[in-house]
């Protein structure tokens, strides 16, 4: 059975999924796994698609010091114990820069160009590229595909793409990219099966999780996003502030004596819901359960900014035909969905309280002028689809085996 391995690598984790390639190019998830605590307290956990556990193993910290070591452990486990040897590997890559508006087959030249983009996503891209580099060295004949979070947003018009700065900086790459594109692409391709007429119209998608953003879709294409040059922009997130006046950054440097590195760490690790709540948590579930007034304020702020950005995106679309919740918070928190819909009442949105509590696909009432949907996204499946499409197009070398 031919299979495709999907990899999503972060600073301290390696997540992976295996998809089987079935008739007529269909894909079916076989298993999912992760190695967390890389360099600290590494642990391999994996389960079948149905949830049946396959592995739960701790490792000495010296055995898994980095992403490459984690890849070797995951690959060895897949090969030696499950007898799985994927024919190709698809990678989640946060940033594709100005050059990549679609997924691409990786070779040394592509890798070198992606490495030059590290300054655009310094906390993500090096970890995304580490497993690519390892596989190129150890399994050079195996097709690898890079799937970019920025690619889906390359359809933005110039006025949505620019900052009000001199043109040379835009040419250099200082522009509004947008992120979470694989998630939005999945929603755009799934909506025609849920609501065909709406899918061709004007839709706002709220991807609410520890990393949160919103996207305006017109005819299934991205026309505007709350995230811009970096994944710090837009909505408040678990530990990232979202939209912030650049003057605040200047103040941190000039008045607080913070270096660029210190500011970077502060904006990525100490702000957002975590910062607003006074350190209670950046996790919406814990904030909702807390009695601390600061936790309540963090949730209030989160909901307020979602509503504010919905207005901006509705303006970009010149109207609205549907609203979609997705990602962990959007799919699992009936309370957040209810409060966001209250913020959208001025657009004629009305909630069906019963359907919202049931986590139904359609949660708006019959009286609502605009339908509201809950649609889980699947970024890994999108990566597997892109990988398979490139293999089937004949763009790649003959499949070999990896791991």
Dihedral of alpha carbons 190, 195, 201, 207, sign: negative
> What local confidence, expressed as pLDDT, does residue 343 receive?
98
Q: Tens digit of pLDDT for each residue in 179-212?
A: 999 999 999 999 999 999 999 999 999 999 999 9
The residue-averaged pLDDT of 246-274 equals: 97
Dihedral of alpha carbons 234, 382, 30, 57, sign: negative
Assigned CATH topology for domain 196-370? Nucleotidyltransferase; domain 5 (3.30.420)
Cβ atoms within 10 Å of 80's Cβ, excluding its own: 10
- SS3 state at 362: strand
> What local confidence, expressed as pLDDT, does residue 166 receive?
98
Please determine, for residue 403, whether its predicted confidence score (pLDDT) is greater than 70.
Answer: no
Token digits of residue 30: 């076989």
> What local confidence, expressed as pLDDT, does residue 397 receive?
42
Q: Look up 149 and say whether it is catalytic.
A: yes
Phi, psi of 81 (to 5 degrees): -105, -30
The CATH homologous superfamily for domain 3-148+380-392 is ATPase, nucleotide binding domain (3.30.420.40)
Best CA proximity match to 160, nearest among 179, 177, 180, 181? 177
Local confidence band at 286 (pLDDT 50, 70, 90 cut-offs): very high
**Catalytic residue chosen out of the listed positions 2, 80, 149, 352:** 149
Token digits of residue 60: 């000495």
Local confidence band at 11 (pLDDT 50, 70, 90 cut-offs): confident
The CATH 3.30.420.40 domain(s) of the chain lie at 3-148+380-392, 196-370
Best CA proximity match to 188, nearest among 175, 179, 201, 169? 201
pTM of the model as a whole: 0.95
């Amino acid at each position: 059975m031919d299979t495709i391995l999907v990899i999503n690598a972060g600073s301290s984790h390696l997540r992976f999924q295996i998809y089987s390639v079935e008739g007529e190019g269909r894909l079916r998830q076989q298993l999912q796994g992760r190695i967390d605590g890389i360099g600290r307290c590494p642990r391999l956990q994996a389960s079948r698609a149905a949830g049946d556990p396959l592995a739960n193993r701790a490792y000495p910290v010296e055995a898994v010091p980095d992403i490459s070591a984690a890849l070797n452990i995951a690959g060895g486990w897949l090969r030696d114990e499950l007898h799985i040897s994927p024919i190709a590997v698809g990678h989640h890559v946060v940033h594709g820069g100005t050059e990549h508006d679609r997924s691409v087959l990786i070779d040394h030249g592509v890798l070198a160009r992606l490495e030059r983009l590290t300054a655009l996503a310094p906390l993500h891209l090096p970890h995304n590229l580490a497993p690519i580099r390892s596989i190129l060295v150890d399994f050079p004949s195996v097709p690898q595909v890079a799937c970019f979070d920025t690619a889906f947003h390359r359809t933005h018009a110039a006025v949505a793409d620019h900052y009000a700065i001199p043109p040379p900086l835009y040419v250099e790459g200082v522009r509004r990219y947008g992120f979470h594109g694989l998630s939005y692409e999945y929603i755009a391709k799934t909506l025609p099966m849920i609501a065909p007429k709406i899918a061709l119209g004007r839709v706002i998608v709220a991807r609410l999780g520890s990393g949160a953003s919103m996207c305006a879709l017109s005819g299934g294409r991205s026309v505007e996003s709350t995230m811009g040059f970096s994944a710090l922009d837009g909505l408040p997130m678990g530990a990232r502030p979202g939209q912030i006046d650049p003057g605040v950054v200047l103040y941190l440097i000039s008045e607080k004596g913070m270096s660029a590195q210190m500011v970077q760490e502060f904006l990525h690790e100490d702000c957002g819901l975590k910062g607003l709540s006074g350190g209670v948590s950046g996790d919406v579930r814990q904030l909702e359960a807390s009695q601390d007034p600061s936790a309540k304020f963090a949730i209030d702020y989160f909901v307020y900014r979602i509503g504010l950005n919905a207005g901006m995106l509705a303006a970009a679309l010149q109207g609205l035909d549907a609203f979609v919740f997705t990602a962990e918070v959007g799919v699992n928190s009936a309370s957040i969905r209810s409060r966001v819909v209250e913020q959208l009442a001025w657009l004629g949105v009305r909630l069906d309280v019963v359907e919202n509590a049931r986590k139904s696909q359609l949660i708006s009432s019959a009286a609502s002028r605009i339908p509201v949907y809950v649609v889980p996204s699947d970024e890994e499946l999108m990566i597997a689809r892109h990988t398979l499409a490139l293999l089937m197009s004949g763009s790649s070398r003959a499949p070999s085996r990896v791991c």
